[in-house]
Amino acid sequence: MEDLDNLKATELTLGLPGTDAPEKPSPASTTGANKRANEECCLPVAKKQVVGWPPLRSYRMNSIRIRKMDAEDNTGIYVKVGMDGAPYLRKVDLRVYTGYKELMEALNDMFKCFSLGGAEGHEESGYAITYEDKDGDWMLVGDVPWEMFISSCKRMRIMKGSEARGLSSST
């Protein structure tokens, strides 16, 4: 049983973390092309690997697998995001966003139930988005180039009210 669990944990899928994406039905050999085509059209993103497909030599398949695992180590910068007053934290993958605007929009979406202000309006509503950098200092999000930010950000915190006011003025 334990082995099965571990196997599942290391299984490579494109499903979102925490979801159990359904596996692609392995193509049956007895059905006609029409039925098969219908099945293929409804493919979920996560696929079960069909034996011998795609037709690539083992060497190439192995290097794709290794690369995929390496990539998953390097990309996917998951950082915790906390907000004052929110009962739980969230996690975001900084690699998914191309810049600050997207990140702000995403955070806005994530925390709107806790009445975070608009992406541009966080100053008015008294919130500031801050991050802890590699040195352990808390910095205001948005000062440094995006690439530098994602490589130094360890976690984020949405500060509110009085603490935020001092930080939220931009120069």
Partner 1 sequence: MTYFPEEVVEHIFDFVGSHRDRNTVSTVCKAWYQVERLSRRTVFVGNCYAIGPERVMARFPGINSLSVKGKPHFADFNLVPYDWGGFALPWIVAAARLCPGLEELRLKRMVVTDDGLELLARSFPNFKSLVLISCEGFSTDGLAAIATYCRGLRELDLQENEVEDHGCQWLSFFPDSCTSLVSLNFGCLKGEVNGGALERLVARCPNLRSLKLSPAVSVESLNKILARASHLVDLGTGSFAVDHRTDVYHTLMNSFPKFKSLRNLSGFWDASPCCLRAVYPVCTSLTVLNLSYAPAIQGDDLIKIICLCFKLQKLWVLDSIGDKGLAVVASTCKELQELRVFPCDIYGAGTTSVTEEGLLAVSSGCPKLNSLLYFCYQMTNAALITVAKNCPHFTRFRLCILDPGKPDPVTNQPLDEGFGAIVRSCKNIRRLSLSGRLTDQVFLYIGMYAERLEMLSIAFAGDSDKGMIYVLNGCKNLRKLEIRDCPFGDIALLKNVAKYETMRSLWMSSCDVTLGGCKALAAKMPRLNVEIINENEETYEFEENLSDRHKLEKIYVYRTVAGPRNDAPDFVWTL
68-73: long-range contacts at Cβ-Cβ below 8 A with a sequence spacing of 24 or more?
Answer: 68/12, 69/12, 72/12
Which residue's CB is nearer to partner 1, number 18 or number 32? 32
* Residue 128: Cβ within 10 Å count: 22
Is 29 a binder of partner 1 (CB under 8 A)? yes
Is 136 a binder of partner 1 (CB under 8 A)? no
Residue 53 to residues 35, 36, 37, 56, 111, Cα–Cα distance (Å): 20, 16, 17, 7, 42
Is 17 a binder of partner 1 (CB under 8 A)? no
| Contact map string, positions 36 to 75, toward partner 1, x by CB under 8 A | xx-xxx-x-x-x--xxxxxxxxxxxx-xx--xx-------
| Positions that interact with partner 1 (CB under 8 A) | 12-14, 27, 29-34, 36-37, 39-41, 43, 45, 47, 50-61, 63-64, 67-68
